[in-house]
Structure 1
């Protein structure tokens, strides 16, 4: 396995994995942004190919196998400090609890999305990406890692706990079409 910075040419694969990590929320939001003849995944790929924004390929690192096939990805970056919630009412209802939780960890290195392609699960891809991301956080001078996970996503929570993350705050999941989990969104933190 090789972990490296994502390239703009990988935008479509990133969008697919971002939607997987986001438990369908990205596709739900992208469907409202789709233009005539454009699929939600097309919107996601367009957004991932941007030079700016949280979902930009600039914030992504990818794990490749020996043949160069993308096995998984992580999107992470430093949270603002202070974190301004003045525009919270402008966010869609399903996103507001996530933004509120993000604000609980200002200045942290935030793992916005991490996902492994189903064909490569169980091979340590997510663990390798998480460790690589911690290296990026240290290089950036961050003293804390943060991420948000669904309380009912037991497999992901177990992995994060094994890596030293602990739940600190929670907000209820706002149901959306196709949502795989109910319960709460949980902010998990790890000191560096």
Structure 2
């Protein structure tokens, strides 16, 4: 595991509320829509989101930026293996294009969530977390990075392209009841050269 220097640290279960907020920011409301669908009668969808983030914390998938008052930015990611995930006929329509794009990014380290509270943007935290993601990928002997962004998320796309990511594929967003503005999902990838590290 990569050694983390403050203000970076591995997320803890105490970060669950902030992580749910950050995931929903990054996903432009799509995560909350999904949590609403998963919530049982009378259950707060945010509780679903926090529980899902706690699971990822337990799996060690999340790093946060914390200046002493709690998480203000986060990175969630994982390696994609060498075999595509099967997509059955009953696979949820909303997720189908996302999984199809992920299946085009085999043998890469996938940036699942990169998020920052709005008041902390513009401080280089996104670039710093992306650099960490590349360190993790190299540590796991992966030579490619991948991320899927919404076509209308201009700020995120600019960050990735500045960091060397290039568009590889795009698929139409299937809203399936979600009231977002996204028209297309875009897969961006970056090759990691040995000279980078």
**Aligned with 1:137: secondary structure?**
helix
**Aligned with 2:81: secondary structure?**
coil
TM-superposed deviation, 1:19? 1.6
User: Quick one: distance in 1 between partners of 2:191 and 2:51?
Assistant: 34
Partner of 2:70: 69
- Paired residues for 1:82-93 under 5 Å: 82-87=83-88, 89-93=89-93
TM-superposed deviation, 1:118? 1.2
After superposition, give the CA deviation of every residue in 1:145-180 in whole Å (9 maximum; x if it has no partner): 00001112111111110000000100011234331x
- Paired residues for 1:22-101 under 5 Å: 22-50=27-55, 56-57=56-57, 58-65=60-67, 67-87=68-88, 89-101=89-101
- 2:18–2:72: 8 Å Cα contact kept in structure 1? no
TM-superposed deviation, 1:20? 1.5
- 2:19–2:71: 8 Å Cα contact kept in structure 1? no
TM-superposed deviation, 1:92? 2.0
**Aligned with 2:157: secondary structure?**
helix
Partner of 1:110: 110
- 2:82–2:106: 8 Å Cα contact kept in structure 1? yes
User: Quick one: distance in 1 between partners of 2:39 and 2:87?
Assistant: 27
After superposition, give the CA deviation of every residue in 1:20-68 in whole Å (9 maximum; x if it has no partner): 2122221111111112332211101011112xxxxx1221110111x24
- 2:97–2:171: 8 Å Cα contact kept in structure 1? yes
Consecutive unaligned residues in structure 2, runs of 5 or more: 1-5, 193-197
The yes-or-no answer on 1:20 pairing with 2:25 is yes
- TM normalised by structure 1 equals 0.90
Indicate how the Cα distance of structure 1 residues 136 and 68 shifts in structure 2: closer, same or farther if over 3 A, else same: farther
TM-superposed deviation, 1:86? 3.7
- 1:94–1:173: 8 Å Cα contact kept in structure 2? yes
Partner of 2:140: 140
